[in-house]
Amino acid sequence: MIRSGDTLLVATRNRGKTAEFRAAFAGLGVEVRDLNDAPEGIPDIVEDGATFADNALIKARIVAEATGLPALADDSGLCVDALGGAPGVYSARYAGEGATDADNNAKLLRELAAAGASAPAGAAAGAPGALSAARFVSALVLYVPGGETKTSEGDVGGYVIAAPQGDGGFGYDSLFWLPAYGRTMAELTTAEKNAVSHRGEALRRLLAQL
């Protein structure tokens, strides 16, 4: 499937995600690269799947078949109860194509304000200014040209808070409060985040299959 000395191409240009994957695969002796280091000729990837797993498969298959290398793709996002599960699969482009993390975070807070969202104080478990229960979801697909395809999923529950806290992480991490830690995802160390995050859980489930 994939073994020590292999090169694994992660289907992302997000160096934050790549760092998490590199740490996870370090013990297997696998070299992890991403699309910032990939050869030219990879087709544009249209993420038009209905689920996180659909989109992860689309990305992994296109990158693997274009390069001949095993490809790992993640599709993940934030599902907010008060917004009916939004932004969901549109998390990375919630504020439009090319949106920055700051753009997406700002839109999330605007939408929650418009919805009059406010999480019950008791349920929010100390989260400062909690607006809604939410969960991060991650789907991973490892696609090996001419070989097997492995899939896994993970999630983690918490609360969206009214103002960002923490300088680490990326995406919605600074707005996602974890009751078990009493901090946002952006305030965790890399080791703490990998231990508790949706992507960390999906990675552990994937690695168990290899």
Identity of residue 66: A
CA–CA separation, 152 and 206 (whole Å):
6
- Whether 171 has a binding-site annotation, put simply, is yes
- Whether 76 has a binding-site annotation, put simply, is yes
Closest CA to 91 of 80, 78, 103, 100: 78
- Whether 61 has a binding-site annotation, put simply, is no
CA 174, 179, 183, 187 dihedral sign is negative
Contact (CB, 8 A) for 168 and 194: no
CA–CA separation, 38 and 19 (whole Å):
16
**Which active-site residues does the annotation give?**
75
**Bridge partners of residue 141, in order along the sequence:** 73, 151
- Whether 7 has a binding-site annotation, put simply, is no
Cis status of the peptide bond prior to 87, with omega within 30 of 0:
yes
Closest CA to 74 of 140, 123, 124, 137: 140
Closest CA to 179 of 114, 113, 134: 134
- Whether 143 has a binding-site annotation, put simply, is no
- Whether 59 has a binding-site annotation, put simply, is no
- How many other CB atoms sit within 10 Å of the CB of residue 29? 10
- Whether 172 has a binding-site annotation, put simply, is yes
Return the structure tokens found at 79.
């599902």
- Whether 204 has a binding-site annotation, put simply, is no
- Whether 110 has a binding-site annotation, put simply, is no
- Whether 105 has a binding-site annotation, put simply, is no
Closest CA to 133 of 144, 121, 147, 151: 121
- Whether 199 has a binding-site annotation, put simply, is yes
- Whether 44 has a binding-site annotation, put simply, is no
Which residues make up each annotated binding site for Mg(2+)? Answer: 75
Which residues make up each annotated binding site for substrate? Answer: 12-17, 76, 170-173, 193, 198-199
Which residues make up each annotated binding site? Answer: 12-17, 75-76, 170-173, 193, 198-199
